[in-house]
Every structure is written in C-alpha cells, then in structure tokens.
Amino acid sequence: MQASVEVKDLVKSYGSFLAVKGISFNVFDGEIYGLVGPNGAGKTTTFRVIATLLMPTSGSVKVCGYDVVREANKVRKCISYLPEEAGVYRNITGYEFLKLIAKTYFKSSKDAEEALELGIKLSGLNERLYDKMKSYSRGMKRRIQVARTLMVRPRVAILDEPTAGLDVSYSYSIRELIKDFVKQYGITVLLSSHNMHEVEGLCNRVALISSGQILVEGYVSELIKEHGVRNLEELFIKLVR
C-alpha cells in the first residue's frame, strides 16, 4: 500500500518548548486518517509542518513522495489545507469566493469551471451562495471552507478540526460530505479532532496524541478491542492515566 504522507521522527520546538516530540506515522492513499487528541496536543503544529507552513526542527516528512523542506513547492501542488480558524472574505459572496479559488488553482478555463461547479455542489448553500459571506453563520462559513478545500481535488486534503464549534446538524453534514467525497474521488484525507466519538465514524486509522507524543496508533476497531474499552474516548483516558 502506497503512503501519501510519511512522517518519521518529527520534532518541532519553539525555543525551549517541544511541541512535537519525535512522532512517526504513515497515511495511505485513499484513506481518512485521524490525528486525535486534546487542544495543545501538537496536532496543528504537525499539520503546519506537513503543509510546509512550518519548518521541522528535526526528522523528515514526505507528502506524495516529496520532502516538505527540499521540495516544498511540489508538496503544495498536491495538497489542500484547511486551518482550524480559517476565515472568509466578508464583502464578497460565497460564489465569488469559490470562483476566485478555481481561477487561482487552474489555468484552463474548463478545469476552473469544473472545479467551480464541484465547489457549488459541495457547499450545499443553494441560493445563500450568492449572499455576501459576512451574513453567513459559522456553519455556513465552515461549509464554504470545506468546499474550497475539496473542490480542487487535491491528492491529500489536510483538515484541521473541520467541525470545530459547529452544531450537531452541520457537523453531521460535513462528516458525510468528507466520506462521500473520499469514496467518489479516492483522495487521501488527514484530519485532526478532539472529538473522539466523531472520529470513530469517520476515520480508517487513528493516532492518539498527547503532549506532542503519539500514545497509540492503528485501526479504530482493533485499538478498542485490544485495550478492552468501549470507544476512543475511554481509550485515551485509560492511556493518559
């Protein structure tokens, strides 16, 4: 099985503070992989290194076979990254935003039009897509950002807390959107979440991370069975204690 993302002995420090302490994991083509843990565990720092936004202190990271330090430009061409706190342009419409993204990513007008059509479908905002985004609810803003991330059909989509702060309805719709998109297009998704119940229904494999270290990694069902717990949340508490 081919690995889309390869992280080996990754260390990231901010001065004397070690945010990530030598973690290793692989994400395979076409899977949804979860990096799961509480706030401050090192998830976002890891994602920013993978997305070439931060330089690793040591260790190596490859995406689509390209090194994130030496071949950063090639990595950026095969990924799409959704930060946890991604904002929107308040004074343009959702449609104008998606059209801008399509034109930025694709030189061919045909490819740009196809991406825009996909983005419109993924957003699920219907007539509200033509309203200025300053009028959008938090859930609507998150849907437009998820659509923006997926509409370019990256080889690897990096989603940092894609449902953070959303109500049950919006969270469910975004999870279903991600699952359906992966099934249809076969892209690889690397996502983070502190909501472990949510991750159980979304991810093939997970790594539980705390204080910059991976506590355990593997298939969700196998981890639950191996440790004699009912769910990932119980497993995490058990490991931390």
- The residue ranking higher by pLDDT, 86 or 140, is 140
Relative to beta strand 188-193, strand 205-210 is: unpaired
DSSP classification of residue 207: E
Residues contacting residue 49 through CB under 8 Å, at least 6 positions apart: 10, 12, 20, 55, 56, 61, 68
Q: What is the pLDDT of residue 38?
A: 87
Residue type, 221: S
pLDDT tens-digit series, residues 103-124: 999 999 999 999 999 999 999 9
**Residue 178: alpha-carbon gap to chain centroid:** 10
- pLDDT computed for residue 194 by the predictor: 81
Q: How far apart are CA 53 and CA 38, in angstroms?
A: 22
Q: pLDDT per residue over 2-57, tens digit each?
A: 899 999 999 999 999 999 999 999 999 999 999 998 888 999 999 999 999 999 99
What is the pLDDT averaged over residues 130-147? Answer: 94
β-bridge partners, 213: 210
58-63: strand order across its sheet: 17-28, 3-14, 58-63, 66-67
